[in-house]
Amino acid sequence: MVEEYNEVERRASKRGRQDMKITVLEKTEDTLTLRVEEVRPGLMNAIRRIIIAETPSMAIEEVVILENQSPLFDEIIAHRLGLVPLTTNFDTYVLSSECTCEGAGCHLCQAGFTMEVEAPEDGFLATTGDLKPQDPDTVPVSDKIPIAKMAKGQRIVVEAYARLGIGLDHAKWQPVSTMAYKMIPHVEVDAKKCDGCKECVNACFRQVFKMQDNKAVVVDEMNCTMCNLCVETCDVQAIKVTYDENSFIVTIESTGAAPPEQIVEKGLDVFRKKYEELIKLLPGRAPKVTAKPKAKKAAPTKPKTTKKKKTTTKKKAPKKSKTTSTKKKAASKSKKKKSK
């Protein structure tokens, strides 16, 4: 497996790598349009999905209904409050799963709101402008989002707590309403073949073409959606529409949680962390750790054997008993008498 990775790297270095090029085409308060070049479709789609589903933002997660005399059920009010987009400061809060409080709720991962309203005689429309935030940096994006319409004398008293989350868990945590891209189109008109019929100009609803000197010319190539209606309506086949598969027009529209450039920066930071975790898991790609050299094991020594000295014990001759010696003497005396 390691040899395959090395082979891929060798081929890539042989072809020559090119850095990603990013050009800002348009920027407003909540929208950012970029031209991104030298990037493959798979990588571009991965960045898109991470910005939508894994870039964090603030949203109300817990609602405590202390009093509700409005015609709406408690669950409806809680649901409406949860979908209110809130401004997000990425440097102030952390995900509850990463907080030291372990999800119990503290000033590092949670922001509080209160709302206490009572309808006057002519009725009242409770909106997000009636939410009183504890953190002035975390407020509803708009103060005109309706919550409940109340009649005379009706009251609502609510406590709400917002937390940082990701769109993968719930759509209310998505920081963008739009994150889309398209490949950069290339539209060509062969002036020699064009007969000036104006069919392509009438068919294109994006106004990519206009007539000039009785010929169709391209005036707004980037506005092309590559629908090929112009190609189908041109009988003389003077129009050719192609695209660059490694260049894209990217549009990011924020919900108001943060400026679009901050959302892109945070999304790329999440992507970088995922890339580093993946590299660590690949075989042969984990960072090398210099381990201390192991001490050589000494060869096992045979236990010394001490030679046992052979000890010989001389057997003592059995002592002659006195009774036997006296008997022999008596027998010898008796023999002597007989011989006489």
> Does residue 337 fall inside a structural domain?
no
> Does residue 313 fall inside a structural domain?
no
Q: What local confidence, expressed as pLDDT, does residue 326 receive? A: 53
Please indicate, yes or no, whether residues 131 and 275 belong to a single structural domain of this protein: no
Task: Determine the Cα angle at 271 with ends 268 and 273, to 5°.
Answer: 115
Q: What local confidence, expressed as pLDDT, does residue 333 receive? A: 53
| Alpha-carbon torsion (223, 224, 227, 232), positive or negative | positive
* Domain end point (choices 173, 192, 220): 173
> Does residue 129 fall inside a structural domain?
yes
Please indicate, yes or no, whether residues 153 and 93 belong to a single structural domain of this protein: yes
Q: What is the CATH number of the domain that holds 100?
A: 2.170.120.12
Backbone angles phi, psi at 157, to 5 degrees: -125, 120
Taking a C-beta distance cutoff of 8 angstroms, is the pair 75, 125 a contact? no
Please indicate, yes or no, whether residues 116 and 69 belong to a single structural domain of this protein: yes
**Sheet of 239-254: strands edge to edge?**
21-27, 31-37, 239-254, 176-189
The structure's pTM equals 0.72
Please indicate, yes or no, whether residues 76 and 119 belong to a single structural domain of this protein: yes
> Does residue 1 fall inside a structural domain?
no
Please indicate, yes or no, whether residues 66 and 169 belong to a single structural domain of this protein: yes
In DSSP notation, 20-57 reads: -EEEEEEE-SSEEEEEEES--HHHHHHHHHHHHHTS-E
Q: What local confidence, expressed as pLDDT, does residue 82 receive? A: 96
Q: 215: which 2 tokens?
A: 């010929």
> Does residue 9 fall inside a structural domain?
no
* Domain end point (choices 136, 153, 173): 173
Please indicate, yes or no, whether residues 69 and 88 belong to a single structural domain of this protein: yes
> Does residue 295 fall inside a structural domain?
no
Please indicate, yes or no, whether residues 63 and 50 belong to a single structural domain of this protein: no
| Alpha-carbon torsion (326, 328, 329, 335), positive or negative | positive
How many CB atoms lie under 10 A from the CB of residue 300?
Answer: 6
272: helix, strand or coil: helix
How many CB atoms lie under 10 A from the CB of residue 176?
Answer: 25
Q: Which domain holds residue 101?
A: 59-173
Please indicate, yes or no, whether residues 49 and 186 belong to a single structural domain of this protein: yes
Please indicate, yes or no, whether residues 139 and 218 belong to a single structural domain of this protein: no
> Between the CA atoms of 171, 166, 97 and 269, what dihedral angle is there, to the nearest 10 degrees?
180
Taking a C-beta distance cutoff of 8 angstroms, is the pair 129, 143 a contact? yes
> Does residue 336 fall inside a structural domain?
no
Q: 160: which 2 tokens?
A: 């709400």
Name the stretches of the chain with pLDDT < 70.
1-18, 285-340
Q: What local confidence, expressed as pLDDT, does residue 32 receive? A: 96
> Does residue 133 fall inside a structural domain?
yes
Please indicate, yes or no, whether residues 158 and 232 belong to a single structural domain of this protein: no
d(CA 218, CA 207): 9
User: What's the total number of domains in the chain?
Assistant: 2
Please indicate, yes or no, whether residues 164 and 231 belong to a single structural domain of this protein: no
Helices then strands, counting H and E runs in the chain, come out as 7, 12
Q: What local confidence, expressed as pLDDT, does residue 282 receive? A: 85
Please indicate, yes or no, whether residues 165 and 218 belong to a single structural domain of this protein: no
* Domain end point (choices 146, 173, 200): 173
The DSSP 8-state label assigned to residue 70 in this structure reads S
